[in-house]
Amino acid sequence: MTCKNNPNYISYIDLIRFFAASIVVLYHVGFFYCLPGQALAELMHETISPHAVFNFGWIGVEIFFVISGFVISYSAARGNASRFALSRFLRLAPTAWICASFSLIIYIFLHQAPIMHLMTAYAATIIFWPFRAIDGVYWTLGVEVSFYALIFVLLKTNRLASLEKIMLGIGLVSLAFWTVFLTLEMVLPHIHMYSAEKALLWTHKIIAARILQLFLVQHGCFFALGVYIRTCVNRGLPGRQTIAIIALIAACVMEIIGQADLLSRITSTHVGWFIPTVIWSLACAAIVWASRQAGANVMPACITRAVRFSGCLTYPLYLFHTAAILLSISVLTPIMGTYAIFSSVCVAFLTAAAIHVYAEPLLHNSVKTALTSHTEKNFIFYLKHRMSEFAEVFPVLNAMLRNEKKKQSRQQ
Q: What is the pLDDT of residues 248-270, one digit of tens each?
A: 999 999 999 999 998 988 888 88
Q: Are 24 and 242 in contact (CB under 8 A)?
A: no
Identify whether 61 is part of a domain. yes
Cα separation, 344 vs 302, whole angstroms = 28
Q: What is the pLDDT of residues 1-31, one digit of tens each?
A: 555 554 444 678 989 999 999 999 999 888 8
- Of 46-60, 64-78, 340-354, where does mean pLDDT reach its minimum? 46-60
Q: Rank 3-12, 211-220, 385-394 by mean pLDDT and report only the highest.
A: 211-220
Q: Are 132 and 314 in contact (CB under 8 A)?
A: no
**Among positive and negative, which fits the CA dihedral 188, 183, 283, 162?**
positive
In this predicted model, which residue has the larger pLDDT, 219 or 199?
Answer: 219
Please report the pLDDT score of residue 140 as a whole number. Answer: 97
Please report the pLDDT score of residue 398 as a whole number. Answer: 47
Q: Is the pLDDT of residue 110 over 50?
A: yes
Identify whether 331 is part of a domain. no
Identify whether 32 is part of a domain. yes
Percentage, residues of the chain above pLDDT 90: 54
Cα separation, 383 vs 386, whole angstroms = 5
Q: What is the pLDDT of residues 276-304, one digit of tens each?
A: 999 999 999 999 988 887 666 567 778 88
In order, the DSSP letters of 116-172 are: HHHHHHHHHHHTT-TT--SSGGGHHHHHHHHHHHHHHHHHHTT-GGGHHHHHHHHHH
DSSP code at position 37: T
Identify whether 125 is part of a domain. yes
Identify whether 398 is part of a domain. no
Identify whether 140 is part of a domain. yes
Cα separation, 70 vs 73, whole angstroms = 6
Say how many domains are in the chain.
1
Please report the pLDDT score of residue 339 as a whole number. Answer: 79
State mean pLDDT over 386-391. Answer: 48
* Residue 282, CA distances (Å) to 275, 279, 300 in order: 11, 5, 25
Q: Are 56 and 275 in contact (CB under 8 A)?
A: yes
Please report the pLDDT score of residue 387 as a whole number. Answer: 46
Q: At residue 337, what is the residue type? A: G
Q: Is the pLDDT of residue 367 over 50?
A: yes
Please report the pLDDT score of residue 2 as a whole number. Answer: 52
Cα separation, 201 vs 192, whole angstroms = 14
For residue 149, name the pLDDT band (cuts at 50, 70, 90): very high
Identify whether 68 is part of a domain. yes
* Residue 59, CA distances (Å) to 119, 172, 245, 377 in order: 30, 21, 20, 45
Look up the pTM and report it: 0.86
Please report the pLDDT score of residue 374 as a whole number. Answer: 56
Identify whether 146 is part of a domain. yes
State mean pLDDT over 340-362. Answer: 94
Please report the pLDDT score of residue 294 as a whole number. Answer: 66
Q: At residue 142, what is the residue type? A: G
* Enclosing domain of residue 215: 8-315
Cα separation, 150 vs 329, whole angstroms = 41
